[in-house]
A = this chain, B = another copy of it.
Amino acid sequence: MITRHDGRRPDQMRPIRFQPDIAPHAHGSVLASFGDTQVICSAMIEPGVPRWMMQQNVPGGWLTAEYSMLPYATLERKARDISRGKMDGRSTEIQRLIGRALRAAVDLEKLGQRTLWIDCDVLRADGGTRTVSITGACLAAAMAFARLQAAGLLKESPLRQFAAAVSVGVCGGTPVLDLDYPEDKDAAVDCNLAMTEHLQLIEVQGSGEEATFSESELQSMLELGKLGVTEISAAQKAALASFDPGSDPILLKRLVGMK
């Protein structure tokens, strides 16, 4: 069996951590980490939906996701979008992916005429920022829903099920789980998988940048992905279980002061 540069087995995740309420003004937030990759994930719920939904009488709520790299997330400083005058193409691609994954996990009709804002800001990038983002964003949303339930604003949580994501790839001929940055840079194939906690597929994005891959490689990567998602979902559930949405009644009151 190959030895990965950090000593992990091919099917081994990096340590998964969630630090809740990293952004205390959000309804739900976590600092989500897979190893050294750290993303601030926030969920904020606002009254109202976009104008076109109201005009077309579309029922239920709306969900928007935004993703950004903080300038100091990478070893070389990354200029802010506003300094470059335009949105980064890679960020656009990733935030659309986050939005799709969350929409598979959240029942927007149950949200009512509200907008759920998901924000993911990468504090430290070491491979897999998009999968950490999806994973943390789903947990942040679950915490926000719990707060709104605790405040009596929602009867049941709009979360259908947890969505979790993980990257898999083929490095030096071997499929490996949860690539860090040095692995990601050298991988011949790179695949991002988003699944439900029940291992149903939400999104499969496999890409052989300047290379190609076979169906059996895709199959191996799916198998590894299921291992990863099983572990991640368990961690998400444990974090939600230990989260007390009503522990601070004053904070609760302030957060839910929605019209």
Residue ranges of A at the interface with B (Cβ–Cβ < 8 Å): 22-26, 29, 36, 40, 42, 44, 46, 66, 68, 70-77, 80-83, 85-87, 89-90, 92-93, 95-96, 100, 103-104, 117, 119, 121, 123-125, 191, 195-196, 200-215, 217-218, 222, 254-255, 257
For A73, the chain B residues whose CB sits under 8 A away are: 23, 25
For A210, the chain B residues whose CB sits under 8 A away are: 103-104
Known: A87-B86, A210-B103. A26 touches B201 (CB 8 A): no
For A125, the chain B residues whose CB sits under 8 A away are: 25
CB distance from A37 to the nearest CB of B (A): 11
A87 nearest in chain B by CB position: B82
- Determine if B72 and A25 form an interchain contact, defined as CB atoms under 8 angstroms apart: yes
- Determine if A71 and B66 form an interchain contact, defined as CB atoms under 8 angstroms apart: yes
- Determine if B204 and A206 form an interchain contact, defined as CB atoms under 8 angstroms apart: yes
Known: A77-B117, A85-B85, A104-B212. A70 touches B23 (CB 8 A): yes
- Determine if B254 and A123 form an interchain contact, defined as CB atoms under 8 angstroms apart: no
For A103, the chain B residues whose CB sits under 8 A away are: 209-210
A46 nearest in chain B by CB position: B77
Interface of A is mostly: mixed
Cα distance, A175 to B77, chains bound together (Å): 41
CB distance from A35 to the nearest CB of B (A): 12
- Determine if B96 and A89 form an interchain contact, defined as CB atoms under 8 angstroms apart: yes
- Determine if B202 and A212 form an interchain contact, defined as CB atoms under 8 angstroms apart: yes
Known: A103-B209, A205-B204, A214-B201. A24 touches B44 (CB 8 A): no
Q: Residue A23 contacts which of B22, B85, B124, B200 (CB distance < 8 angstroms)? A: B124
